[in-house]
């Protein structure tokens, strides 16, 4: 798999699809639908058989940082509709494992073990550990809280999700493993960055080209997990 340089230029790309606001559709929903219909990554994902445009983000980051390898065990938090899980299972192969969870159900993906689960439930991490049955090589989190329109509140919600995902990752990752999560503009809070920097050899923020133009979307990527003891409070 190779990340594609996908653009909306050219004669065809200039023919924008405009969507009229229906009686029962809000303006925000109409604008979202219009973006979807005119998004070259969405159109290309349909052609390539990916569940979502997000697949290209993971493909790009994997090619840049060599995250996914044969026979790995990968956990995909917030997996629906399945784009990242599709990419991961193709990379880890038949002897690898991909375990995905989400609030929403998804159509089966060959080789992917998927469970409908709310990661915010108190028992969710332990249930996920039981399904994993051992250590993981990578934890991916594309979880995003529902937005309120209030920037500070939305940022706090994203940080809370990232914090839960980080703590889970430090409990299940094997030495040398990696962690990647969505954080949005503003990056990762200092406290969380300190945890990552203690526990991983390298921590960086990454914005894939496949992220929407003008989007505040950002990912934190931590590689080279040092082991659980390294993340303990000093």
> Confidence class of residue 57 from pLDDT cuts 50, 70 and 90?
very high
> Confidence class of residue 52 from pLDDT cuts 50, 70 and 90?
confident
Q: What is the pLDDT of residues 159-168, one digit of tens each?
A: 888 889 999 9
Cβ atoms within 10 Å of 110's Cβ, excluding its own: 7
Q: Which has the higher per-residue pLDDT, 217 or 17?
A: 217
Do 27 and 86 lie in a common domain? Answer: no
Residue tagged active-site, from 5, 95, 182, 226 = 182
Distance CA 199, CA 220 (A): 14
Q: What is the pLDDT of residue 14?
A: 42
> Helix crossing, 54-65 with 40-48: angle to 10°?
80
Residue 88: name the closest of 110, 103, 104 by CA.
110
C-beta of residue 125 within 8 angstroms of C-beta of residue 101: no
Do 124 and 164 lie in a common domain? Answer: yes
Q: What is the pLDDT of residue 62?
A: 97
Q: How many domains does the chain contain in total?
A: 2
Q: Pick the range with the lowest mean pLDDT from 42-51, 63-72, 119-128.
A: 42-51
Do 114 and 217 lie in a common domain? Answer: yes
Do 88 and 120 lie in a common domain? Answer: yes
79: its two tokens: 């997996």
Domain presence at residue 5: no
E strands, 62-111, are 73-77, 97-102
Distance CA 225, CA 179 (A): 8
Is 47 among the residues known to form the active site? no
Domain extent at residue 17 = 10-47
> Confidence class of residue 24 from pLDDT cuts 50, 70 and 90?
low
Instruction: Give percent above pLDDT 70 in the chain.
Output: 77
Domain presence at residue 23: yes
Location of structure tokens 């550990």: 129
C-beta of residue 226 within 8 angstroms of C-beta of residue 197: no
Do 117 and 139 lie in a common domain? Answer: yes
Distance CA 139, CA 155 (A): 21
Q: What is the pLDDT of residues 202-213, one digit of tens each?
A: 999 999 887 766
Location of structure tokens 């995902």: 165
Give backbone dihedrals phi and psi of 102, rounded to 5 degrees, phi first.
Answer: -165, 160
Do 172 and 67 lie in a common domain? Answer: yes
The dihedral sign for the CA sequence 183, 56, 66, 133 = positive
Distance CA 231, CA 227 (A): 8
């Amino acid at each position: 798999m190779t990340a594609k340089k996908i653009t909306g230029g050219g004669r065809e790309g200039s023919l924008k699809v405009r969507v009229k606001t229906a009686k029962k559709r809000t303006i925000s929903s109409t604008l979202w639908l219009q973006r979807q219909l005119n998004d070259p990554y969405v159109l290309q994902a349909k052609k390539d058989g990916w569940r979502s445009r997000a697949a290209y983000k993971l493909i790009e980051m994997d090619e840049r940082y060599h995250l996914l390898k044969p026979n790995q065990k990968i956990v995909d938090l917030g997996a629906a509709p399945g784009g990242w899980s599709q990419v991961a299972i193709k990379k880890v192969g038949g002897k690898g494992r991909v375990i995905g969870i989400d609030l929403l159900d998804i159509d089966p993906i060959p080789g992917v073990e998927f469970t409908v689960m709310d990661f915010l439930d108190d028992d969710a991490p332990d249930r996920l550990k039981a399904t994993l049955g051992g250590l993981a090589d990578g934890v991916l989190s594309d979880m995003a809280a529902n937005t309120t329109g209030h920037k500070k509140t939305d940022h706090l919600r994203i940080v809370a999700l990232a914090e839960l995902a980080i703590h889970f990752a430090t409990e299940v990752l094997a030495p040398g493993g990696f962690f990647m999560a969505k954080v949005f503009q503003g990056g990762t809070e200092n406290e969380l960055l300190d945890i990552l920097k203690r526990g991983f050899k390298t921590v960086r923020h990454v914005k894939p080209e496949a992220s929407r133009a003008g989007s505040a979307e950002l990912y934190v990527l931590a590689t080279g997990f040092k082991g659980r003891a390294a993340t303990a409070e000093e």
